[in-house]
Structure 1
Amino acid sequence: MKQTLLILFLVFPFMALAQLQESFSDGNFTQNPTWTGDVTSFIVNTQSRLQSNGPAVTGTTLQLVTPSQAIVGTTWEFWANLKLATSATNYTDVYLVADKQDLNAADLNGYFVRIGNTTDDVSLYRKDAGKSSVILINGQDNTINSTDNVVRVRVTRSVNYEWQLSIDVTGTGQSYVSQGVATDATHKSSGYFGVVLKYTSANSKNFYFDDFTIVDAQPPVLEELQTKTPQELILTFNEPLQPAAAQTIANYTLNGNIKPTIAELQSPTTLRLVFGQNFKTGSNTVTIANLQDLYGNVLNSPTTRNFTFVPPAVLPNYNELIITEIMADETPAVGLPAQEYIEIYNPTEKVLSLKGIKLSDATATTTLPDVQLLPSEYAVVVPTTQAANFTPFGKVIGISNFPGLNNSGELLQLRRPDGKLIYAVNYSDAWYKDAAKREGGWSLEMIDVTNPCAGAGNWTASKDPKGGTPAQPNSVAAANPDNIPPTIVNATAISATQVLVRFNERLDSTQAATITNYGISPTIAVSNAEVQGPLYTEVILTFSAPLQEKQLYTLTATNLTDCSGNLNSQPQTITFALPSLPEPGDVVINEVLFNPRPNGVDFVELVNRSNKYIDLKNWQLANTSGDTISNLKTITIANYVLAPGQYVVLTSNPENIKTNYPAANTNAFLKMASLPSYPDDAGTIVVLQPNGKVADRFSYSSEMHFALLDDVNGVSLERIRLDGETMANNFHSAATTVFATPSYKNSQSQEGMATAQVFEIEPQVFSPDGDGIDDFTTINYNTSQTGLTANITIYDAQGREVHKLVRNELLAANGYFRWDGLKQDGSKATIGYYVFYIELFGLNGEKSEFKEKVVVGGRL
């Protein structure tokens, strides 16, 4: 194309194509301008007029042409004298516009004026390639009906493509009469101007022409603007442009200050502009200055043209389409239709195609329809049947099988048709941060849509009075950037050769999958690192050698970045161990709150009293119905490893427990959807291992509480001795100074003691006042034989019986009994000395007697 244009410009330099003025006063038509065609059949006569001089043969057709690219905003004028009676075989066509040098070519396109015909008129025609001529302006009949027809013709074509034909039969140019007007823009380029004669033999020398003039006094006009690519414009003008000005980059400006990198003429009327950056999506402006046509007509002032750019729709990549609002619990409705919905948002400058994108929750998947989402545009996704109800709020996408959203939370995903992840969010009702709004009618809204990687910290309950802002910017919108690098939450060995590492936020999956970023001590080589989708908060590390049980390992992670690009410059460490298979009694019930305060909740605390690391994944909590274990509840489906001596608190509402017992360790809670029923009066707590074996069992009753407590609500029962049996004698009410000790050492705990003799008292002085300091005493025993039974009776200093503590109790090899300082009638023993009278009976009836002193103390 460039070579063709260059040849064209060289053959027809713009100065040579200046407005035509031909009076033949120089006596020839071979130069200034140059005419071609049947040049031997024309002469310039003594009157300096062009005269036909062709062969005297009927049916002869002659033509004479000269270059002309004038096409619009132009006036054509000429004088003609046909000294003959015009007819269907004697007439002339004056081509104002022609795209071929051969005016008789069948594929010619152009416009011409015909003088003469069967109706002896002057009319304007259009010629289309391969077709018959079409009349545009039908001149008045019989205006040239003599044998000496003089006429001056003037034709104008405006920049709006309106044609006007006028004739002056006096030939002076002083008495023009309009023959009509017409609008036609079929042909918009020209290469030639010329005349065609058709005659019978007697009229070969009877055609005379003079004063051909073509005047273009209008500057070029931009007719069409097209965006060919996101950085390329094609401008089409109504007439050929002067090449030097057209290809001057300084003459064009995009959006007020952007100059093109390329300005190139692709044809005389078509200009290509290329810019170094993409057009804005939506409205853009291009300004054009200093352009001129081939005849020197320059734009009087800069021309500005607005255009809208909408890039082709593309499928979104990761985080290029995000979920920004979730209405999971729609009732009671606040001000919106009572319908669950999901809001999606396009944070890019692209036009996104949603066709085939999969929207999934935990149990179902639906496909979005063929819809486009513009840059920074929101849309609400609802069931098709509800679409009309949401139309007033903004863009609505109706789908036939909208997934039901869990009120408490679940994982939502957007995936491309090829399965690649676009976005995932695992919302929770805890994200409302407002107990009242969590009850329904309010949506969860993303705070900062430019921070899609964030979790709970970037979501909260809507503030809009309607309860939400579907298909609109969120009511809670604010800057909430992520400037904090990721940290390790925990690490759990899920097999002998793999450890699952959890982070507090989404990771850059490329960095997280680099094995050199991890180290293990004692040293084991990391052979693979696999980032777990769709949230990318977990990494599974695979080792080249197996881990050893009961060995504590330290994991070090370096050079990890989060989804937002924040790098943790300091190495992070965390410990983990390979869990061992549990045995019953390894993990036991350590504390129970079955009678919470008003508006409080129950909890069960477990403790690992073994030297193993034990994973609680798929363990269960239960109660009993008669003699049957029932109402089983899974503690956790995730890995949760208890280290030796570690506590864990099981409850349905950790926040409630932490509020009532502020000293609780936040990290030692496992939230369960619900606990089995544990009545206030009495019940049984059962802990089951994944293999169904009973890990521990505790039958409690309200009678086990210290009898002198005024109010036992909110007071837990605590295990006294970690290595003791899970039985009533080994539990006591928590100290009234704390009421309960969830997640930390029991207020009434007591270390086991090795007795040097059969019976020893510890402590020998105690104060049963519920303050957690020596609230009871223990009678510890250690026998050398089994099968012994015991009676223990308590006497005061005056020898009066106070309490029958033990009757016919079968003893283990070692153990203890507990006295809480209460007399037989439930009243508190007074301050003073007391004696334990102990009777020990053997299998053969032999009897031993022991007396041990104890002091009941207190405030006077």
Structure 2
Amino acid sequence: MLKYLYLLVLLPMMAQAQLRDDFADGDFTALPPWTGDGASFRVTSGQLQSNGPAVTGTRLQLSTPCLASTGTVWEFWANLKLATSSGNLADVWLMASRTDVNDANNSGYFVRLGGTADEVSLFRKDSTRATVVVIDGLDGTLASTTNNLVRIRVTRTTANRWTLERDLTGGRTFVAEAAQPIDATYQRSVAVGVALVYSSTNARNFYFDDFAVTDATPPLLTRTIAVDARRLDVVFNEAMDPASATVLVNYRLQDGLMPTGAQVLPSNPAVVRLTFGSDYAAPNVLEARAVADLYGNVAPGPLTATLVPAPVAPRAGELLITEIFADETPSVGLPLSEYLEIYNRSPTKVLNLGGVRLGKVGSTSVAVLPDTARLLPGQYTVVCGSTQVSQFEAPGRKVYGPTNFPSLGNDGDQLVLRGRDGRTLFEVTYSDTWYRDARKKDGGWSLEMIDTNNYCAGADNWTASTDPLGGTPGRANSVRAANADVTAPTLLRALALGPVTVRAYFSEKLDSASAATRSRYSLAAPGPAVSRAVPVAPDFRQVDLTLDSPLLPSRANTLAVQTATDCAGNASGPLQSAGFALPEAAAPGDLIVNEVLFNPRVGAVPFVEVLNRSSKAISLQHFQLSNGVGISTSTRTITAQPFVLSPGQLVAISPDAAIIAAQYPTSHDPAALLVASLPTLDNSAGSLRLLDGQGVQLDRFDYNKNMHLSLLATQEGVSLERIRASGPSLGNNFHSAAGAVGYATPGRLNSQAQDAPGGDQELTVEPEVFTPDDDGQQDFATLNYHLDQPGYAVSVNVYDALGRLTRRLVRNETLPTTGFVRWDGIDDRGHKAAVGYYVLLVELFRPSGGEKREYKKTVVLGARF
């Protein structure tokens, strides 16, 4: 006998709703239709019996439509005439999201009969993820090897409390499991069904009967959501009867406004969309009366729900990225996929995320959130790749998987959220230094924002997650705490980008509205006036100023900022200032290599220091450093951004400023360090060249480890410093940095620097007493010369007080008319010469005229006691 239990004769969807089937008519293909692996089932003596192939590992399934969800009782009879195991069991689906209950993407609730523990248990399945135990039944319940008879009853209340009961005689004297948990994960269903797996001898040993699904509870109104100013979505806890749910008089707003239209949504029969003839007031309360579910259960009412405001487009500071999972390996507990967490910071607004774009600065590819995307006040969502959504789905968690989800750099990236209209909503430029934990920096842990009210902050407001799983996707951050911004912004520097454009750089993100006030900016008189101020998106740490007349090249000027306000509202004091000048093209020799560390200590990094020895302001933008010759040449661009060196200014270029600071804590200048990649520097010798943006060589220094002071215990971590800025880029104009300053001076005046001598003397020696102990004070003697005409060949030899040859410094070399020769106190054998008086014999010979001159200069090699 087969029948449906009709509670309301006129319900058009009754054939898909509440059901009862005892297979007494000998058929399972109609009234109601069970579909799936129909050829592998049959009805025997009024019972549904498995009849599949005798092949181990076979999986079968049948299902029939049913929309019942909450306030429902499911009941069925079964007999498994076999010994249950992990390969011999049956799953009876109470609520399934797909008619093929074996589909990997199916989700819902099912009762498992058998398994390794020979039990009756209630499970939940979340799409492609592993099953979750809701009620763990008593082990050994189905312990027979030939006759596991049981009748099951499962109840789910409208409060989502579950009860699992069983009668092992097949009758209705039920015994309940002690656990009665609450689980509200799934509120919708399309089918009930059975799924089997068995070994070859058990193909016909599964029997089922007396399926009954009963809903005798009226529907509940869960919430009301504004679609727009004249439409509301009324959400019930179960599928609704269109006949009663579309009766207009069954609804009214608390202020008396009634709808002019009502429709049950085809995509979700638990939602009724109401349309009003005029804009409704908000806030408001909706009342519903005399509405019925699909099974005829009427809620007399009134049912009420406070109106959730209509979703609005987010504004800056309302939609935030609050968690970044950029390095997913090694796994700590999170899925092996990158994700971002996005948060609605507004306490009252429902945000419409439709059209919101997520991207990286410098990339044209963006991920666009779907038009249906919404975030309630204070709600989080996970955003990940389109193929990773199932990895993050979990009860109560909202997940979006747009195409073109950006690849997140492990070391850092600049991420931007933009509205549909292209306006910047949020920007963050993160770095792996933000973890503040070397272990977590290596992967498996997310970066979390500390204080969402301090969303403009950078490194100070982010840190590694402390959650045992490695992160908190879709929920409040584990590190959340008060971390207010109370610091006002400062003006860091100013750069002339062109004759009429000056860019001001600030220490933190500015309030873009106040930063656009041009009266806040002025140039020192008689400079041009500021005609326009435009904050630079997306991070608003810079402001571009347009001038009403052009700047003159290389003329020093000063930008003054009356006040600056960050996006947290902190205002700076008046008249911050920064100098700048309009740069001009560099000529060969204007910029020179001033210091080079090519053999750093183990674990350290090299650096190259560049000096502007011209009277020009010169920008390093697109300039290059190159090392090597021919096919072995290694070349790197110094910076793609404007970076101006004023006359006499120097900068040390290195891939890691933090390591430089740690290696030379007292002899570096942080303001003169520029982080950039360097060409490969051989630790023995190289040909280092400085090129402008067009590849023109400005300077070349052929370094060699033999240029170092031979008395050094080690050359590791010791730089070669230029002695005279005006001198040539040759080995005799470089010397090992002094030990007294830590053996290098990145970004600071060279420890071995000398000024060119003054006066008209032809030959001079400075100092008259020198002490070659590498302390940075009189470490070498310099023979300065000024010749009356070019063309001389020069030899310079050093003799001790007894006339013995100590060192040949120069042998028949043609020299320029002005220059110097250096003696570092080392003899021809590479040993330090003894303390005492020495004579520098200088022989000049001009082949063209046959003229020969000879000079003697004395110097004292001393020692400190």
Q: Letter of the 2:470 partner, please give it.
A: G
Q: Is the 8 A contact 2:229 2:310 kept in 1?
A: no
User: Counterpart in 1 of 2:334?
Assistant: 336
1:721 to 721, 724, 740: 724
Q: What corresponds to 2:768 in structure 1?
A: 764
Equivalent position of 2:641 in the other structure: 638
2:853 counterpart residue number:
848
| 8 Å CA contact 1:621, 1:685 repeated in 2 | yes
Amino acid corresponding to residue 324 of structure 2 in structure 1: I
Matched, 1:797 2:795: no
The 1:285–1:847 alpha-carbon spacing in structure 2 relative to 1, beyond 3 Å, is same
2:414 is the counterpart of 1:416: no
- Measured after TM superposition, the shift of residue 753 of structure 1 is 0.5
Q: Does 1:694 align with 2:697?
A: yes
Deviation, 1:223, is: 12
User: 1:36-435 residue pairs with structure 2 within 5 A?
Assistant: 279=283, 307-348=305-346, 349-361=348-360, 362-363=362-363, 364-369=365-370, 370-392=372-394, 394-435=397-438
CA shift, 1:426, in A, is 2.1
AA partner of residue 857 (structure 1): G
Preserved contact between residue 225 and residue 308 of structure 2 (Cα < 8 Å): no
For residue 667 of structure 1, report the CA deviation from its aligned partner: 1.3
Counterpart pick for 2:826 among 822, 826, 847: 822
User: Equivalents in 2 of 1:645, 1:475: separation in Å?
Assistant: 50
**Aligned counterparts of 1:773 and 1:687: Cα–Cα separation in 2:** 30
**Residue equivalent to 2:682:** 679
1:572 Cα deviation (Å)?
1.6
- How many correspondences in the alignment? 584
RMSD across aligned positions (CA): 2.9
CA offsets per residue over residues 277-322 of structure 1, 9 Å max, x none?
9659xxx999xxxxxxxxxxxxxxxx99863442222221222211
Distance change (3 Å), C-alpha of 1:400 and 1:549: closer
Q: State the AA in 2 paired with 1:648.
A: V
SS at match of 1:648: strand
1:347 deviation in Å?
0.5
Question: Is 1:833 aligned to residue 842 of structure 2?
Answer: no
State how far apart, in whole Å, the 2-side matches of 1:560 and 1:305 are.
Answer: 54
| Distance in 2 between residues matched to 1:403 and 1:263, nearest whole Å | 46
8 Å Cα contact 2:228/2:310 also seen in 1: no
User: Which residue number corresponds to residue 652 of structure 2?
Assistant: 649
Structure 2 residue runs of 5 or longer lacking an equivalent are 1-219, 233-252, 259-279, 288-300
Greater C-alpha radius of gyration: 1
Displacement after TM superposition at 1:327 (Å): 1.6
Equivalent in the alignment of 1:784: 788
**Equivalent position of 1:709 in the other structure:** 712
Q: 1:843 to 1:384 in 2, by over 3 A?
A: same
Distance in 2 (CA, whole Å) between partners of 1:575 and 1:814 is 35
Whole-angstrom CA distance in 1 between matches of 2:333 and 2:672: 40
Contact 2:326 2:408 in 1 (8 A): yes
Contact 2:226 2:310 in 1 (8 A): no
Which range moves more in the overlay, 683-692 or 458-467? Answer: 458-467
In 1, Cα distance between equivalents of 2:411 and 2:486: 29
Partner SS state of residue 450, structure 1: helix
Greater Cα offset, 801-810 or 542-551: 542-551
Aligned partner (choices 603, 618, 624) of residue 622 of structure 2? 618
Q: Distance in 1 between matches of 2:592 and 2:760?
A: 28
Cα separation, 2, equivalents of 1:312 and 1:735: 70
Is residue 547 from structure 1 mapped to residue 551 from structure 2 by the alignment? yes
Q: Distance in 2 between matches of 1:730 and 1:788?
A: 20
Partner of 2:778: 774
Residue in structure 2 matched with residue 257 of structure 1 by the alignment: none
Q: CA deviation at 1:265?
A: 7.1
Distance in 2, Cα, partners of 1:841 & 1:699: 28
Q: Which residue of structure 2 aligns with residue 594 of structure 1? A: 598
Task: Name the structure 2 match of 1:457.
Answer: 460
Query: CA separation of 1:783/1:379 partners in 2, compared to 1, >3 Å: closer, same or farther?
Result: same
| Cα displacement string for residues 800-838 of structure 1 (whole angstroms, at most 9, x for unaligned residues) | 111111111111010001000001000110000011111
Letter in 2 for 1:760: T
TM-score (normalised: structure 1): 0.64
- Residue 473 (structure 1) aligns with: 476
Confirm or deny: 8 A CA contact 1:583 1:695 kept in the other structure.
yes
**Aligned partners of 2:386 and 2:401 also within 8 Å:** yes
SS across alignment from 2:417: strand
Q: Give structure 1 stretches of 5+ with no counterpart.
A: 1-221, 235-261, 268-275, 287-302
| DSSP 3-state at the match of 2:433 | helix
Distance in 1, Cα, partners of 2:551 & 2:256? 73
Could you tell me how far 1:545 is from its partner in structure 2?
Answer: 1.1
CA distance in structure 1 between the partners assigned to 2:340 and 2:774 by the alignment: 54
**Cα distance in structure 2, aligned partners of 1:824 and 1:615:** 44
Structure 1 counterpart of 2:501, from 494, 498, 501: 498
Q: Which residue of 2 aligns with 1:563?
A: 567
Q: 1:817 to 1:232 in 2, by over 3 A?
A: same
Partner Cα distance (2:223, 2:326) in 1:
48
Kept in 2, the 8 Å contact 1:230–1:278? The answer is no
CA distance in 2, matches of 1:788, 1:517: 62
Following superposition, the deviation at residue 540 of structure 1 comes to 1.0
Separation of aligned partners in 2, 1:313 and 1:842? 91
- Per-residue CA distance 1:133-170 (angstroms, 9 max, x = gap): xxxxxxxxxxxxxxxxxxxxxxxxxxxxxxxxxxxxxx
Which whole-Å CA distance do the structure 2 matches of 1:462 and 1:625 have between them? 48
Q: Distance in 1 between matches of 2:757 and 2:619?
A: 30
- Give the whole-Å Cα distance in 2 for the aligned partners of 1:309 and 1:373: 15
Q: Which amino acid aligns with 2:578?
A: I
Letter in 2 for 1:679: D
Shift of 1:495: 0.7
For the 8 Å contact 1:755–1:782, the answer to whether it is kept is: no
How far residue 538 of structure 1 moved from its aligned partner, in angstroms, is 1.3
Matches of 1:317 and 1:398 in 2, distance apart?
22
1:510 Cα offset (Å):
1.9
| TM-score normalised by length of structure 2 | 0.64
1:579 aligned onto 2:583 = yes
Q: Residues 263 and 607 of structure 1: is their aligned pair in 2 closer, same or farther, counting only changes over 3 Å?
A: same
Alpha-carbon deviation of 1:524? 1.6
User: 2:633 aligns to what SS in structure 1?
Assistant: strand
Identity of aligned residues (%): 45
Give the counterpart letter for 1:727 in structure 2. L
Runs of 4+ in 1 over 6 A off after TM superposition: 222-234, 262-267, 303-306
User: What displacement does 1:400 show?
Assistant: 3.1
Give 1:224 deviation, angstroms: 13
Q: 1:308 to 1:408 in 2, by over 3 A?
A: same
